[in-house]
Amino acid sequence: MDLYVLGQQLVNGLVLGATYGLIAVGYTMVYGIIGMINFAHGDIYMISAYLAAIGLAVLAWFGISSPFVLIALSLVFAIIVTSTYGVVIERLAYRPLRKANRLAPLISAIGVSLILQNYVQLSQGAKNQGVPTLIDGAVRFGSTDHFFQITYTQIMIILVALFSMGVLNAVVRFTALGRAMRATQQDREMAEILGINTDKIIGSVFAIGAAMAAVAGVLITLNYGSFDFFVGFVTGIKAFTAAVLGGIGSLPGAMLGGILLGLAESLFSGFVNSDYKDVFAFGLLVAILIFRPSGLLGKPVVEKV
């Protein structure tokens, strides 16, 4: 085994896993608080990729050339718009079905996913879109002929992902909003009796989940440089796999599952076959659901009587 290839695949897997973890947070927060799988969440990630490209183009048109200013402002722009998307989708597509059977919001989520894909396809075109590389350079390990590297963009992705997860964890654990979210998750009816506006809290959860997906969308777009209107489907399913692997409903589990899935997929691509990496990821999802449906950090569901 070539250790340099192994090192490169581990770096790639860590970067990929960090973005999976950010997207998985949206799945796990929504499931944890209202018990539904938001299959439109991957398309929010897709929209953030387009918003990143639009933001970069507009800022460049205004003459802004600093890479860090471009990235920071594009990130803020994508977070604000996608958070609005998250709130509106919850208000229009999910809230009216909150007292319906569990199948209704699931079908509604699939419908929203298709609507977002077709909306972007019609408005932005079906061709692949791209953004230029903003940050050049890399840190190399090894000799001139044999080495592995981590680019400055990849370092930024890992640092921003860790910072975002740290901020989210602090919000959930130490703020009034976080306490209300945890109370709503544990018992929504009791939370309402205690004066918590659970509709507002659920809307906030969708906004936060969409914001984390926006962070992932902007970062991964800057890293890979290309995207299309269908990119949210596959990436969203993989992020859902990461959420299930870590234990859906668990924030640390979402990031852990994302990193483990990213590493497993990258190593499979490097040492087995990159053409079947998606098959491997989805096969892993099936195996998790069969042998450990509660995931690594999740708690088994106890039926209340």
pLDDT (tens digit per residue) in 289-302 = 788 878 777 766 55
- Check pLDDT > 80 for residue 304: no
Q: What is the pLDDT of residue 69?
A: 92
230 half-sphere exposure, CB direction, 13 A CA radius? 3
| 8 A C-beta contact, residue 134 and residue 70 | yes
Q: What is the pLDDT of residue 215?
A: 92
Mean pLDDT of 157-177: 90
Phi, psi of 151 (to 5 degrees): -75, 160
- Check pLDDT > 80 for residue 50: yes
- Check pLDDT > 50 for residue 144: yes
DSSP 81-110: HHHHHHHHHIIIIIGGGTTS-THHHHHHHH
Confidence at 305, pLDDT banded by 50, 70, 90 = very low
Highest mean pLDDT among 80-89, 125-134, 260-269: 80-89
Q: What CA–CA distance (Å, rounded) separates 257 from 251?
A: 10
Question: Chain-wide mean pLDDT for the chain?
Answer: 88
Q: What is the pLDDT of residue 82?
A: 94
Q: How large a percentage of the chain has pLDDT more than 70? A: 97
pLDDT digits (tens, 9 = 90+) for 89-100: 999 998 998 888
Q: What is the pTM of this model?
A: 0.88
Name the least confident of 55-69, 101-115, 132-146.
Answer: 132-146
- Check pLDDT > 50 for residue 201: yes
In the chain, DSSP finds a helix count (H) and a strand count (E) of: 11, 4
Q: What is the pLDDT of residue 300?
A: 61
Q: What CA–CA distance (Å, rounded) separates 112 from 110?
A: 5
Q: What is the pLDDT of residue 111?
A: 92
Q: How large a percentage of the chain has pLDDT more than 90? A: 34
Bridge partners of residue 138, in order along the sequence = 151
Q: What is the pLDDT of residue 5?
A: 86
| 8 A C-beta contact, residue 32 and residue 200 | no
- Check pLDDT > 80 for residue 26: yes
Mean pLDDT of 105-109: 89
| 8 A C-beta contact, residue 78 and residue 214 | yes
Mean pLDDT of 7-32: 89
Confidence at 73, pLDDT banded by 50, 70, 90 = very high
| 8 A C-beta contact, residue 27 and residue 243 | yes
Closest CA to 213 of 48, 39, 14: 48
